[in-house]
C-alpha cells in the first residue's frame, strides 16, 4: 500500500472537479440560484409546535360551538370553517389591517400569556343589522368608530366566543381568561412587540347575500411554547363535549319563556239583575280567604296565602299541584 499523500495541487483539482459536477447536476434539475436561500439549523422556533395537530382539533371544535353564538342574532345557521393556523410576525399581520376593527385582548392565566380576538367591522355591522331586524345584505359604510349599539353587540359575541373557546380547550387543558381589554386600532393594542411571532387561527363565517367574514384569534408563540409537547400530540377527548344537541337547546329555550301568573283573590257570585244594575261608583264587597289559587297561563298550579314583604303585597306558596287542574 502506498503511503504517498496528495499534494495541495491535487486536492484543489479534486475540489474544483466536484464543484463543476455539482453545478452541472443543479443546472440539469433546473434549480436557479435565486431560489436557494440560507438556513441555519436550530433557528426555526416553529419546530417546537410540530404540525399543530392539537391546535387544529381545538379550532375545529370551536368552529362548531361558535355557531350557537351567531344563530340567535342572524336567525340563520351560519357555516363556520376553521382554516389552517399560520405563523407570522405581528408586524406582518398588521400590514393589511384595517383602521377600524374589534380587538379583544384577554390574559390566559394558566399559560401566563395572552390572546387576541379580531373581528372585522363589516361583520359587526351585519350582526347589528340582523339583530335588530335588518337585512343581511345591507352594504357596509366605512366609519372611524363603532356606535354604542355595535359596542354592545361586540360585548355579547366576544363573551359568547370566549366561553366556547374555553370549552374547546377543555380537553387539552382547562384555561381561564381574565383582564379583558378592547381596542379599535391595532396601533394602540398592547399585545406583543412587532417583531414577535404570533400564531393566527382564522375562522371563515359564510352567510347568504354577503361575502364570507373572518374572525382571527392570535396567540403569541411564547404563550404556547410551554405546552408544545401537548400541541404535537394526537389529542384524545377525555372530557364530555359540551356541544348541546338540538333537544337540549330547545329545552333551554323553552325553559326561559315568560308565562303570566295570576292570583285568584276571591270568587264571588252575583245575580244577573245585580250585574245589570251595576254602575260606576258602586261598591262590591270582596271577602279574602286563605288558600288562594295561583293560575299560570290560566291553569291552576299552586295554593298560596296572601301577605306582605317590605311593604309590598306578596304571596307564600303553600301547596303545589302535581299536575295542572
What is the pTM (predicted TM-score) of this model?
0.59
**Would you say residue 23 has pLDDT above 60?**
no
Contact between 296 and 319 under an 8 Å Cβ cutoff? The reply is no
CA 53 to chain centre: 20
The CA distance from 26 to 301, in Å, is: 88
The CA distance from 191 to 198, in Å, is: 10
Average pLDDT over residues 226-237: 73
The CA distance from 63 to 192, in Å, is: 25
What residues are paired with 81 via a beta bridge? 204
Give per-residue pLDDT as tens, 304-320.
888 888 778 888 888 88
C-alpha cell at 69: 353564538
Give per-residue pLDDT as tens, 65-85.
888 888 888 877 788 999 988
Mark residue 246 as left, alpha or beta (left: phi above 0; alpha: psi -120 to 50; beta: remaining): alpha
The CA distance from 115 to 179, in Å, is: 11
Give per-residue pLDDT as tens, 252-310.
888 888 888 888 887 788 888 888 888 888 887 777 777 888 888 888 888 888 888 87
The CA distance from 90 to 98, in Å, is: 14
Give residue for cell 250585574.
275
pLDDT value, residue 21: 57
C-alpha cell at 189: 393594542
For the chain, list the domains and their CATH numbers.
Answer: 46-253 (3.40.1550.10), 258-279+287-320 (2.30.330.10)
Amino acid at each position: 500500500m502506498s503511503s504517498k499523500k496528495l499534494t495541495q495541487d491535487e486536492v484543489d483539482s479534486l475540489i474544483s472537479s466536484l464543484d463543476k459536477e455539482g453545478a452541472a447536476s443543479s443546472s440539469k434539475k433546473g434549480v436557479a440560484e435565486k431560489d436557494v436561500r440560507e438556513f441555519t439549523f436550530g433557528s426555526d422556533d416553529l419546530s417546537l409546535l410540530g404540525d399543530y395537530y392539537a391546535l387544529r382539533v381545538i379550532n375545529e371544535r370551536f368552529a362548531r360551538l361558535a355557531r350557537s353564538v351567531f344563530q340567535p342574532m342572524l336567525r340563520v345557521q351560519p357555516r363556520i370553517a376553521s382554516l389552517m393556523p399560520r405563523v407570522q410576525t405581528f408586524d406582518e399581520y398588521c400590514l393589511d389591517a384595517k383602521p377600524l376593527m374589534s380587538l379583544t385582548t384577554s390574559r390566559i392565566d394558566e399559560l401566563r400569556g395572552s390572546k387576541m380576538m379580531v373581528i372585522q367591522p363589516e361583520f359587526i355591522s351585519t350582526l347589528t343589522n340582523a339583530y335588530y331586524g335588518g337585512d343581511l345584505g345591507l352594504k357596509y359604510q366605512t366609519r372611524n368608530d363603532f356606535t354604542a349599539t355595535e359596542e354592545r353587540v361586540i360585548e355579547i359575541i366576544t363573551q359568547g366566543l370566549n366561553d366556547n373557546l374555553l370549552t374547546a380547550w377543555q380537553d387539552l387543558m382547562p384555561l381561564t381568561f381574565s383582564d379583558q381589554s378592547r381596542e379599535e386600532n391595532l396601533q394602540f393594542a398592547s399585545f406583543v412587540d412587532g417583531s414577535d411571532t404570533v400564531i393566527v387561527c382564522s375562522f371563515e363565517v359564510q352567510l347568504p347575500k354577503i361575502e364570507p367574514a373572518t374572525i382571527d384569534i392570535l396567540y403569541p408563540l411564547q404563550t404556547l411554547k410551554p405546552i408544545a409537547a401537548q400541541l404535537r400530540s394526537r389529542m384524545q377527548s377525555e372530557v364530555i363535549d359540551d356541544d348541546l344537541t338540538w333537544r337540549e337547546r330547545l329545552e333551554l329555550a323553552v325553559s326561559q319563556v315568560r308565562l303570566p301568573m295570576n292570583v285568584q283573590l276571591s270568587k264571588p257570585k252575583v245575580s244577573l239583575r245585580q250585574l245589570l244594575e251595576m254602575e260606576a261608583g258602586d261598591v262590591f264587597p270582596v271577602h279574602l280567604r286563605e288558600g288562594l289559587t295561583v293560575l299560570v297561563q290560566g291553569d291552576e298550579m299552586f295554593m298560596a296565602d296572601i301577605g306582605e314583604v317590605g311593604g309590598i303585597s306578596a304571596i307564600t306558596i303553600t301547596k303545589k299541584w302535581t299536575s295542572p287542574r
